[in-house]
Amino acid sequence: MNRAGLLDLNEALQHPGRTLWYEMSTELDQEEDLDLVSPIEGTLEAVSTGNLLLLKGHFAARAVFECSRCTAPIEQTIELDIEEQFPVEGVASSYGTQDFARVVPDEPYQLFEGNALIVDALIRQMLIVNLPLQPVCEYGWDGDCPEARERIIESQNEPGRLEFHRLKNLLEEGT
């Protein structure tokens, strides 16, 4: 993977049947909604059948989420399983014709630049479907969570205080 986050897949595309493995790591620095504790790391396997480019992989990372009940920070492992296929046009150059194989993705978002995969774009798409929707801390929805209990007491005794905290958080987020 080069500095622009492009993974050139020509070796797989121009040699159908040849399986390539790539070790990869990304920090997705343009992703504002994700609080990563470790880079997203994993392995991607690429092989072309001649008509299809098959990508398979597994990625994992640690990230911090907010408990949906008590808003306490919780660290969780995100796992991404990748299994994608993309149509290929043209004849692989290793067959000795003047032609060469080109990947022709039909996704509504850009995943390739020519025959190079935009790694972060693929990982982002995988994250959208794999992030926990409502992460909860170890107390779950029903456990006797001290944070959640404190929150209830706080909001009963000092109705203005919780609002103040919310406002303060908003202001801090905005800076």
What's the closest the beta carbon of residue 79 comes to Zn ion, in angstroms? 22
As a whole number of Å, the CA-based R_g of the chain is 23
Nearer Cβ to Zn ion (50/135): 135
What's the closest the beta carbon of residue 148 comes to Zn ion, in angstroms? 6
146-157 and 159-174 helices cross at what angle (nearest 10)?
Answer: 110
Rounded Cα–Cα distance for residues 53 and 13 (Å)? 7
Nearer Cβ to Zn ion (40/69): 69
Residues in the site for Zn ion, rule: CB under 5 A? 67, 69-70, 72, 137, 145
Cβ partners under 8 Å of residue 46, min gap 6:
9, 12, 19, 20, 21, 22, 53, 54, 55
Nearer Cβ to Zn ion (42/69): 69
Nearer Cβ to Zn ion (107/150): 150
What's the closest the beta carbon of residue 3 comes to Zn ion, in angstroms? 40
What's the closest the beta carbon of residue 141 comes to Zn ion, in angstroms? 9
Rounded Cα–Cα distance for residues 68 and 73 (Å)? 10
Rounded Cα–Cα distance for residues 100 and 108 (Å)? 24
